[in-house]
Copies of this chain bind each other. A is one copy, B any other.
Amino acid sequence: MKTLPLLLLFIAFSLTSAADDGYRLWLRYERITDPAVRTAYNKTFSFIAVSDTSDISHNAAKELQAGIGAMTGKHIPIVKTMPKSGRGIRLSLSGATDVTAVKADSYVISLEGGNVVIKSAGNTGLLYGSFALLRHLQQHLPIEKAVSQSKPKIQLRMLNHWDNPEGTIERGYAGSSLWKWYELPETVDPRYTDYARANASIGINGTVVNNVNASARFLTAEYLHKVAALAGVFRKYGIKTYLSIHFAAPKTLGGLKTSDPLDPEVRKWWMEKTKEVYSIIPDFGGFLVKANSEGEPGPQDYGRTHADGANMLAEALAPFNGVVIWRAFVYKADPNADRFKAAYDEFASLDGKFAKNVIVQVKNGPIDFQPREPFSPLFGNMPKTPLGMEFQLTQEYLGFATHWVYEAPIFKECLDADTYVKGKGSTVASIVDGSLHNYPLTCMAGVANTGSDRSWTGHPMAQANWYAFGRLAWDHTLSAQAIAREWAQLTLTTQPKPVAAITDIMLRSRDIYVDYNTPLGLSRPWTGAHYAPEPWQNRSSRPDWTAIYYHRADSLGLGFDRTATGSNALQQYRPEVTRAWANPETCPLPYLLWFHHISWSQKLSSGRTLWDELCHRFYTGAESVVWMQKQWASVQSSIDPTLHADVTGRLLKQHKEAIWWRDAWMLYLQTFSKQAIPAIYRRPERTLEEVKEGVNVYLMR
């Protein structure tokens, strides 16, 4: 109790600051109220011994000290050598040198003579092991049960920030960018450290700090020194810093006449620039590239291939062991093409043509982070090219910061999908983790949902998506349920009943969202605002930037025919997959309209007609938000009141919008189906015109 007055000096006083504002994420380290647990922990943790003097090992010990200290109320000294008496934690770096990255990240937690020993071949492994132990203790579990070992299945576990230099975030819904570019490098926000802690705690070891629609600024010395200040913070938590690059930088920045990747001057420019980058950030990770996509420059501007572009950068990065992460998110503004096929069409034939330090980063689905997409057909079709996975954490198509959607089921659905590339069991996960094709490089990226909001993610429950991404990038065999439960325990409450109720909401949340947003394989009703669905939207500078391009509603029916009678995109999959999905009878209902144009009155496997099934989904989806509300209300007594009120407000909004979005689709589709909404459902309380007016509010300047 001696430290109490001191601590009190630092309590940020304000009328509202007593609340849990979500800032601490899953690293709350709440004081343990159960005396039995606290006593047991107190007995075991009287020191933290660490002989390694690296920043990373030091931060591992510091985190243990702070975390266990807060949970037990006891100050635990950090020492260099094991004391003669007492029990404690030992962080033990094995003597091995020249270990692989995966080995350096792996750890073993054991009990030796009453001490908890965390062993690793690398200091990053000590850090990850320390966070694993803290995770264990935060769940108030017996110390003996902490004995474990773990190694990451993916080497590069990364966040991609779509943050712009002016502080805005493309598709960001949680305030402005965390990075204060105009203040860097002189002012280093302490929050950068908490960002690094949070990432390290779930195994994330890389971050791309700027938008893939990249400003060339980031390659100037002025900005590289700013990036270096961030890298200086991140490095101490085992996180490498990467940059998105502007492919035309040799022209815009270097003053060259071309950015042709085969031009010797251009290659020289990149080599020199890369050298400069490494002179400023010695452990720089590499470049992320969006090229020839949505107006961004790229090698095709000069008649070159993606491989030509990537290999030029790879050549520049190779001397420094940097990597090129080249995105496969491409599609042409061709009214006759099927955007679904674009990535495969452009990339599959390039397999084997990329340099060794290139990763091709593929979005989980063929289009663009829809609430439900079949896996991208590229997975499995580039055996000689490491394919990285790109998931989206920020809720561009998932209700922004006002809808509660737990994304682990989306990630798992893709990772567990069977490509049949080498027969049954050739899951997407086995491709991405390198096991199927022996990729020398493996990568999983999440487009970050973080921002300057105090809660980091806007919707406090969206923290779980950041968490789940990190945990799955480390070990994709974890279940969505196990991660949800773990996250809720660390973040919200350790009481079993509310944890179960919250886990229940989380696990059902994605299907509920899909039902009121894009059931049965509909997609992309967002066009102008990205805040309001416009399924009627039929005009744009590109056909694939309208809504009607995707749903293809007409008087006969609904859906995009991607079978042999249509775009034949299904042919990009292996026969086992094609066969199952090409037949509307066997195609899983959730994917139905992705692949088939179904007539309004066709009976589905559910026993309902398409129209009735749509009504059923839209209505039960919206209605299920009421269930979410009730479920959330039931846990009120276990949750911080401010946090509870915050989420209650968001669920109110979610329900309002679910009805709005349902009405938008139903009333619009009804103009084609000419069928009534079944009498068991209340008719929309507004007209299609009124819905459109409501949408237009969000499209106004």
A646: chain B residues within 8 A (beta carbon): 187, 189
Task: Say whether A182 contacts B173, CB under 8 Å.
Answer: yes
Q: Which residue of B lies closest to A187 (CB)?
A: B649
The answer to the question of A183 belonging to the interface, with a C-beta cut-off of 8 Å to chain B, is: yes
A222 touching B187 in the complex, CB below 8 Å, given contacts A15-B193, A175-B175, A400-B182? no
The answer to the question of A554 belonging to the interface, with a C-beta cut-off of 8 Å to chain B, is: no
Partner of A649, one of B9, B24, B183: B183
A12 touching B21 in the complex, CB below 8 Å, given contacts A223-B697, A402-B183, A700-B217? yes
A402 touching B650 in the complex, CB below 8 Å, given contacts A15-B62, A24-B14, A62-B15? no
- Interface positions, chain A 203-217, Cβ under 8 Å from B, are 215-217
Partner of A700, one of B15, B189, B216: B216
The answer to the question of A348 belonging to the interface, with a C-beta cut-off of 8 Å to chain B, is: no
A29: chain B residues within 8 A (beta carbon): 13
CA distance A52 to B633 in the complex (A): 34
Q: Which residue of B lies closest to A218 (CB)?
A: B700
A222 touching B183 in the complex, CB below 8 Å, given contacts A15-B197, A17-B23, A18-B10? no
A454: chain B residues within 8 A (beta carbon): 191, 454
Interface residues on A, range: 35 or more
A694: chain B residues within 8 A (beta carbon): 222
Partner of A66, one of B13, B176, B180: B13
The answer to the question of A453 belonging to the interface, with a C-beta cut-off of 8 Å to chain B, is: yes
- Interface positions, chain A 180-237, Cβ under 8 Å from B, are 180, 182-183, 186-191, 193-194, 197, 215-217, 220, 222-223
Task: Say whether B649 contacts A186, CB under 8 Å.
Answer: yes
Q: Mark A506-525, 1 if CB is under 8 A from B, else 0.
A: 00000000000000000000
CA distance A365 to B19 in the complex (A): 44
Q: Mark A566-603, 1 if CB is under 8 A from B, else 0.
A: 00000000000000000000000000000000000000
Chain B min CB distance to A594 (Å): 29
The answer to the question of A679 belonging to the interface, with a C-beta cut-off of 8 Å to chain B, is: no
Chain B min CB distance to A629 (Å): 11
Q: Which residue of B lies closest to A216 (CB)?
A: B700
A63: chain B residues within 8 A (beta carbon): 15
With A8-B31, A186-B650, A216-B700 given, name 8 new contacts (CB 8 A). A12-B17, A13-B70, A14-B27, A16-B194, A168-B168, A182-B402, A187-B649, A190-B642
7 CB contacts below 8 A, A to B, read A9-B31, A10-B17, A183-B402, A191-B454, A217-B697, A222-B697, A452-B452
